[in-house]
């Protein structure tokens, strides 16, 4: 990660997603539409920056079946990451954070079911999504 990358994204929560998964690309676009302030920034799990960030957070860079939210230096994965992210979106999505009271093993069981089947159900690309010029600055590595 270059000094410019760090400066540009400092202070923003970073979302790491599977860049070749159609479902994950759709979720990224969905988040962008509901984040009018441009709070969340993104990187593909396949990128070198994401691998460096995962290692920094003691997470495996080979694990492509999770969604990671890095917020204030803390790393969240799976359903906890999704719920914490929802809390930062435009109303009414912060209400979803109330689901945090559901035991983690139940939330993650549902999350894991979707993660395991995402390519079969939604498809996969050979390359990561290319952001439009309007949102390109929200992506860590292109």
**What percentage of the chain has pLDDT greater than the value 70?**
74
pTM of the prediction? 0.80
Residue 35 in any domain: the answer is yes
Region 47-57: mean pLDDT is 90
Distance CA 67, CA 17 (A): 5
Number of domains making up the chain:
1
* Domain assignment present for 12: yes
Model pLDDT for residues 2-25, shown as the tens digit of each residue: 434 444 556 789 999 877 666 777
Task: Tell whether 93 is covered by a domain.
Answer: yes
Mind listing the pLDDT tens digit for each residue in 84-127? Answer: 999 999 999 999 999 999 999 999 998 888 877 776 776 766 55
Could you give the residue ranges of the DSSP H alpha helices within the chain?
3-9, 22-33, 48-56, 78-87, 104-122
Question: What is the pLDDT averaged over residues 67-79?
Answer: 92
Separation CA 141–CA 47 (nearest Å)? 7
Q: Could you give the C-alpha distances from 7 to 3, 12, 52, 62, 122, in angstroms and in order?
A: 6, 10, 16, 26, 35
- Determine the structural domain holding residue 30 and report its residue range: 3-127
For residue 133, being part of any structural domain is answered with: no
Q: 134 in a domain, yes or no?
A: no
Q: What is the CATH number of the domain that holds 31?
A: 3.40.30
Residue 26 lies in a domain: yes
Q: 3-class DSSP state for residue 89?
A: coil
Q: What integer pLDDT is reported at residue 130 of this predicted model?
A: 58
21 Cβ neighbours under 8 A, 6+ residues apart = 118, 119, 122, 124, 125
- Judged against a pLDDT cut of 80, whether residue 142 lies above it is answered with no
- Ranking 46-50, 61-65, 93-97 by mean pLDDT, the lowest is 61-65
Residue 57 or 11, more confident = 57
Say how far apart CA 42 and CA 58 lie, in whole Å.
Answer: 19
Cα angle value 47/94/5 (rounded, 5°): 25
Residue 132 predicted with pLDDT over 70: no
Q: State how far the Cα of 76 lies from the Cα of 94, in Å rounded to an integer.
A: 17
Residue 53, in any domain of the structure: yes
Residue 41 forms part of a structural domain = yes
How many residues are present in the chain? 142
């Amino acid at each position: 990660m270059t000094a410019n990358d760090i400066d540009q994204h400092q202070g923003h929560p970073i979302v790491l997603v599977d860049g070749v998964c159609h479902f994950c690309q759709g979720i990224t676009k969905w988040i962008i539409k509901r984040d009018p302030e441009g709070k969340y920034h993104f990187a593909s799990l396949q990128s070198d920056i994401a691998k460096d960030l995962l290692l920094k957070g003691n997470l495996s860079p080979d694990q492509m079946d999770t969604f990671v939210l890095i917020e204030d230096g803390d790393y969240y994965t799976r359903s906890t990451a999704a719920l914490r992210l929802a809390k930062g979106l435009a109303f009414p999505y912060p209400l979803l954070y109330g689901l945090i009271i559901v035991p983690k093993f139940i939330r993650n069981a549902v999350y894991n079911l979707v993660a395991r089947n995402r390519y079969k159900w939604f498809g996969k690309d050979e390359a990561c999504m290319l952001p439009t010029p309007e949102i390109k600055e929200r992506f860590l590595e292109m």
